[in-house]
Amino acid sequence: MAQRVHSARRIRAQILDSFRLIVTEAIQSYIADRINETLDKPIKTVEVKEHDHQSDEHDAAEAENSNDIVTTQEEIEALYIVRAICASLINPDRIMEKDTKNYCNITLDGEPRKSFLRLHFNFVRKKKIAVFDQDEPEVVPVTVPSDLYQ
């Protein structure tokens, strides 16, 4: 087999050893990739099903409460900015928003218990965000959604 991929007329021990090493690493890498694919399939299936279920619940709740609730363009921009900031740590699709009359909650997996940011953009004069890091939220005044990068 080594003669088919190497240009040397005679395959010496040194060439054969390096060829063995390369083939062994390639096989191990292939096996590891196949194992990871097999293990990831059930996890991805569960995540997709949960996300679809949560989206359906979110849409139904939004339809019921849509009387006076308006999701502004600034809130949507802020959601995308938060997703971009968190993309290196988690899947951005897990970050969702739940708008209310007075504020917009940014949550993980759409669960209110996992709220980590609250956008108070409904009042033109006093725009602010509340970051839930520990017990008490840290309130930071903002003027535009791009202030979230700071």
Tell whether the model's pLDDT for residue 34 goes beyond 50: yes
Tell whether the model's pLDDT for residue 78 goes beyond 80: yes
What average pLDDT is seen over the chain?
75
Work out the pLDDT band at 149, boundaries 50, 70, 90: confident
User: Which residues make beta-bridge pairs with 130?
Assistant: 118, 139
Residue owning tokens 């008490």? 136
Region 51-63: what's the mean pLDDT? 51
> In terms of pLDDT, which residue wins out, 50 or 87?
87
For residues 118 and 85, is the Cβ–Cβ distance under 8 A?
no
**Measuring CA to CA, how many Å separate 17 from each of 9, 22, 25, 88?**
16, 9, 12, 40
Phi, psi of 27 (to 5 degrees): -65, -45
Q: What is the DSSP letter of 137?
A: P
Cα–Cα dist 20/75, whole Å: 57
pTM of the model: 0.52
